[in-house]
Amino acid sequence: MISSTPTRTESQAPASTLSLLAYLLAGTFFGVVLVKSEAASWYRIQEMFHFQSFHMYGLIGSAVLTGMLTTGLLRHFRARSLDGQAIKIQHKAPGLPRYVFGGLTFGLGWGLAGVCPGPIFTLLGSGIWAMLIVLLFALIGTWLYGVLRNRLPH
Amino acid sequence: MTFFFSAWPWYISGPLIGLMVPLLLLLGNKTFGISANLRHACAILLPKNVKPSFFRYDWRGEKWNLMFAGGLILGGLLAGLIFANPEPTRLSAGAIGSLQDLGVRLSPGLVPPELLDLRRPVVWLILSLSGLLVGFGTRYGGGCTSGHAITGLSTLQFPSLVATVSFFAGGILSANILLPLLLK
């Protein structure tokens, strides 16, 4: 049995317009950080995959460490989200082949144009129209997965 | 004022990236991730009669994620256009050397102009192949860099460790072998 998606939130009540605005702002903030951290820089991704600088490793490492500490704190204090729900961290679906093969495929694409999904949108916003080609083909790739999904090992 | 234009060091921007995980949990119990938007876009755009079952769900419940992606575009406009860094990326000497082998110059901006020159057929090939692999791989692997490498690793999930290691294995292969081969 293939679960529909490991990160899907079991949806609650539809988000209000105000909270949607909050997500827009959060996305804007993240987009700014993607540019200013140079995680959206093709040069930095190449440098990382050639092990020529500590920059990207420091960036990802300190991000993971911060995420670990802060989600640990949320758990410790049994924090609730703004809409009053108990905070729950979604678990990724079990399985191994999907993470190995899917991960490898993703990595091959990432190392070419130097973009993962976040920077596709951010670079588009910064006026790099050629990213429309990447986005279009990323949608085709997603659709292809939807078509072939039942024939792939998960 | 230079703070707005220049790049930020990793020890400032890394923790800011990590803060996205608790921020989205606090805002509405959302799991930080971006690539699911590609699935939502397919769910919205594909006509009903040719829509695989994978895209038949109520994407309206995931509007927050689409708004987040909209924000990413705005963030790019702000930081990459209005407050764009006039200086090129401060690469290591080793990385600058490797660029020459690829026939790419270190120019200001986030992507070298040589790789955006749509008069070159190889640029079309690189951009489309890259998009195809990223789109397929991210859904097959159930997440991208943000969902696995940031969210999954910081919440100690084993599948995300496997995915992140595989991301890097694929990236090392394509940056060191595939890309030089294509640009030759």
Give the residue extent of every domain in chain B: 1-84, 117-183
pLDDT at B170: 98
Nearest neighbour of B31 by CB, restricted to A85, A90, A135:
A90
Q: How many CB atoms lie within 10 A of CB A84?
A: 7
Per the structure block, which two tokens stand in for A128? 């790099």
Residue B2 confidence class, pLDDT cut points 50, 70, 90:
confident
CB contact B108 to A (< 8 Å):
no
Looking at residues B2-6, what average pLDDT do you find?
A: 86
Residues A32, B77: contact at Cβ < 8 Å?
Answer: no
Task: Please state, in angstroms and rounded to a whole number, the distance separating the CA atoms of residues A108 and A47.
Answer: 15
Judge whether residue B131 has pLDDT over 90: yes
Looking at residues B163-179, what average pLDDT do you find?
A: 97
* Whether the predicted interface score ipTM is above 0.85: yes
pLDDT at B27: 94
Choosing among A1, A19, A28, which should be mutated to test the B contact, i.e. which has the most B CBs within 10 A?
A28
Choosing among B167, B173, B182, B183, which should be mutated to test the A contact, i.e. which has the most A CBs within 10 A?
B167
Task: Please state, in angstroms and rounded to a whole number, the distance separating the CA atoms of residues B107 and B96.
Answer: 11
Residues B39, A142: contact at Cβ < 8 Å?
Answer: yes
Residue segments in chain A with a per-residue pLDDT below the cut of 70? 1-15
pLDDT at A10: 46
Over residues B8-58, the pLDDT tens digits come to: 999 999 999 999 999 999 999 999 999 999 999 999 999 988 899 999 999
pTM summary value: 0.93
Task: Please state, in angstroms and rounded to a whole number, the distance separating the CA atoms of residues B89 and B92.
Answer: 9
Q: Could B67 and A70 be called an inter-chain contact, meaning their C-beta atoms sit closer than 8 Å?
A: no
Average pLDDT of chain A is: 91
Amino acid at B158: F
Q: Could B80 and A125 be called an inter-chain contact, meaning their C-beta atoms sit closer than 8 Å?
A: yes
A90-114 b/e with 16+ CB inside 10 Å = b?
Answer: bebbebeebbbbbbbbbbbbbbbbb
Residues B104, B115: contact at Cβ < 8 Å?
Answer: yes
What Å distances lie between residue A38 and B16, B61, B107, CA to CA?
13, 32, 14
Over residues B52-101, the pLDDT tens digits come to: 999 999 999 999 999 999 999 999 999 999 999 999 999 999 999 999 88
Look-up of token digits 């039942």:
A150
CB contact A70 to B (< 8 Å):
yes
Amino acid at B106: L
C-alpha angle A65-A71-A73 in degrees, rounded to nearest 5: 105
Amino acid at B13: S
Amino acid at A75: R
Nearest neighbour of B11 by CB, restricted to A62, A108, A128:
A62
pLDDT at A15: 60
Shortest CA distance to B54 belongs to which of A105, A3, A152? A3
Task: Please state, in angstroms and rounded to a whole number, the distance separating the CA atoms of residues A136 and A138.
Answer: 5
C-alpha angle B123-A40-A4 in degrees, rounded to nearest 5: 90
Looking at residues B158-177, what average pLDDT do you find?
A: 97
Judge whether residue B109 has pLDDT over 60: yes
3-state class (DSSP) for residue A2: coil
